[in-house]
Copies of this chain bind each other. A is one copy, B any other.
C-alpha cells in the first residue's frame, strides 16, 4: 500500500502560517517567509518552467518532495476561503494550471462537482471524512504515494488518527510569534528522524511516524 506523506515548512516556533490569514493573504502575515527557501533553487524554478537559481542542498529536497506522488489531499482552507457552501466560481488559489498535476481530494463539509483543471490536476470534493479521502486518493495513486498538501488542520487530523506515515519538516530559522501551529491536537505520536538535510537557509528533517500497530509488534 502506498504511503501517506506530508512535507511542510514550519517556523522554529512551530507555525505553518502567520496570523491574520485572509483571502488577500492566505498564509498570513509573515507566512511567505516560510516559503522563501525553494525560490533560490534551480529545481523549484525548473518546476515553475523558468531558468536560473542555484544548485544547493535545498534543490535536492525540492526535487525529492515532488517525486513519486500519485495524488494529494488538502483541507478546505487550502483550496479556498470560507467554510460555508461553495461559491462555484472559486477554482482554487492557483489559476487554471495548479501545481499538482495529479488528482487532489479536498476535505469539505459541502458537496461540489469535481473540477478538471489544466495540466492534469483535478479537484474532487470529499464530504464523508478523512478515511474516505485517503481511500479514494490511494485508489488513483496506485504504486505512488499520497501527499497531504496542507493546511495544518488536515495534517493534524491524519496524524492524530495514526494514518500519516511520513512527516518531512522544513524547519525555517524564523520566529513568527503567532499564526497557525502545526503540531496541536495530534496526541503523542512516535516520530523517528530518518533523514536530515542541512543548508544555510533551512533544516530539513524527515520523520517516520511509527504507528501504534508497528510499536506493538
Contacts and interface: CB of A to CB of B under 8 A. Distances in A.
Interface string A162-202: 00000001010111010001111011110111001011101
A183 B188 CA distance: 21
A13 interface: yes
B173 A191 contact: yes
Contact of A203 (B14, B175, B188, B203): B203
Contacts of A186: 175, 177
Contacts of A174: 188, 191
A interface, how many residues as a size bin? Answer: 20 to 34
A145 to B, nearest CB: 21
A205 B13 contact: no
A189 B173 CA distance: 9
A173 B198 contact: no
Interface of A: 12-14, 169, 171, 173-175, 177, 181-184, 186-189, 191-193, 196, 198-200, 202-203, 205, 207
18 contacts: A13-B14, A13-B181, A171-B171, A173-B207, A174-B191, A175-B183, A175-B186, A175-B187, A175-B188, A177-B188, A193-B198, A193-B200, A193-B202, A193-B203, A196-B196, A196-B198, A198-B205, A203-B205
